[in-house]
Amino acid sequence: MSEFGLTDLFLKLLQWLGIDSPRLASGLAALTAALLLLTFVAVSAIFFIWLERKVAGRIQDRLGPTRVGGKFGWLQTIADGIKLLVKEDLIPDNADHLLFRLGPYIAFCGSFGAFIALPFAAGWTAYNTGLGAFTIGVFFMLAIMSTEVFGIILAGYGSGSKWALFGGMREAAQMVSYEVPMAICVLVPVIAAGSMDLSRISHNQEGAFWNWYLFRDPFTFMAFWTYFTCATASCKRAPFDLAEAESELVAGFHTEYSGLRWSFFFMAEYASMFAVSGIATLLFLGGWNLGVLPRGWELEKTLAWPHPIVNLGNVLNAIIFTLKAWVLVFVMMWVRWTLPRLRIDQVMMTCLKYLLPISCFLLLGISFWEVALQAYVTPYFSWLLAAAVVLGAVYLIFKLATTPSKLPTPSVATPWAPTIPPSHMIGKN
């Protein structure tokens, strides 16, 4: 819900109570919006921790709790959260106590602050002064998320540990480097839309799914995959998690942290994952548009009931947007538990030698496309690319459904098939 809409509601409530104070109404609206976003981030982190374990278990055949945890193991995550809240909070003797305490909170604020400009539906942003739309929303989100690196540097330096210091410096170099091609890839759909207003960009993609910027031209299509790769690295996710390489740095920049402060780093990581996934959803995947409705059929206007601000259509829009972002978060988890970790030199080489030149090429390409080809080619190209992607997805699903699974050979001891003894041993004790 937008702060401006909340301000109207609180102002009417205060006037009903005999208090005419627009400033108080604005303050209550801002506090309510912050609490709603904080609740969403905290609940999403709990859900993502549970999902991470389920994804890891399915992909790597891991065994989790088999006697506790409730249905599907959801109680295990709640128990871990309670453990972090009551766990003893230790500070090393050699640590800088002020920097050590500030680090996790600054990192979390950098991730949480980005949600101020993230529209979950039409008009549902925490920032809205009533003077108009937040026209630099995507720029604001990228700028705020980049401040997370200050918390990581303070945590690494303030811990008084060489492992934490190495991890903090690694992470600072990685995040600052990958933010450059990520921001350039963001410019590709921004140039196509002619605006940095995330709500307007989402409205431009209403209608059928081939109107999404993912299928608009070859440069936005490639920009999505390049952006998602850079976003995965900027969120410290494998195979780019060299800042937390337990085989080399114990746990990286948060080695010396425990309890509640350690959980703030965890919440910052999951908040950043949802934030960058939300940006990708708004810029490339149609935002809160379902992709099957005709152009001009907007849910927030068609189902504007029971209130013009809080209506059924916007609730559905927020659900659609959240589900799309969650799918991208799931893909990040899928990649983490599938690919091996890179070396730190490979991580930096991937950014500077490959992703940065690719992003610059995409920026030049979309500029040429808009000037020379957009009016003639874009409608036909979007249909062809969308059809090709749909056919590829159908073929992949068909192959997954019809290809039989092959278990390991019987000669190898596996948990799926018992070891078969040699023929001359059968029948003998």
Q: Which pLDDT belongs to residue 108?
A: 92
Q: Which pLDDT belongs to residue 408?
A: 56
**Quick one: average pLDDT of 344-365?**
94
The percent of residues in the chain predicted with pLDDT above 90, rounded, is 44
pTM summary value:
0.88
Euclidean distance between CA atoms 319 and 12, whole angstroms: 28
Per-residue pLDDT reduced to its tens digit, 355-365: 999 999 999 99
Strand, helix or coil for residue 402: helix
Per-residue pLDDT reduced to its tens digit, 368-407: 999 988 888 888 899 999 999 999 999 999 988 888 776 5
Q: Which pLDDT belongs to residue 391?
A: 95
Sign of CA dihedral 66, 67, 70, 73: negative
Contact status, residue 164 vs residue 112, Cβ threshold 8 Å: no
Q: How far apart are the first and last CA of the chain?
A: 74
Would you kindly state where each structural domain of the chain is located, as residue ranges?
Answer: 87-402
Q: Is the pLDDT of residue 129 over 60?
A: no
Q: Mutual orientation of helices 3-16 and 22-60 as an angle, nearest 10°?
A: 130
Angle at 292 between CA 290 and CA 296, to 5 degrees: 80
Residue 2's pLDDT band (cuts 50, 70, 90): very low
Q: Is the pLDDT of residue 238 over 90?
A: no
Contact status, residue 136 vs residue 190, Cβ threshold 8 Å: no
The DSSP code sequence of 327-377 is HHHHHHHHHHTTSPPPPHHHHHHIIIIIIHHHHHHHHHHHHHIIIIIHHHH
Q: Is the pLDDT of residue 417 over 70?
A: no
Euclidean distance between CA atoms 103 and 358, whole angstroms: 34
What Rg, from alpha-carbon coordinates, does the chain have?
Answer: 25
Per-residue pLDDT reduced to its tens digit, 258-278: 888 888 988 998 999 999 999
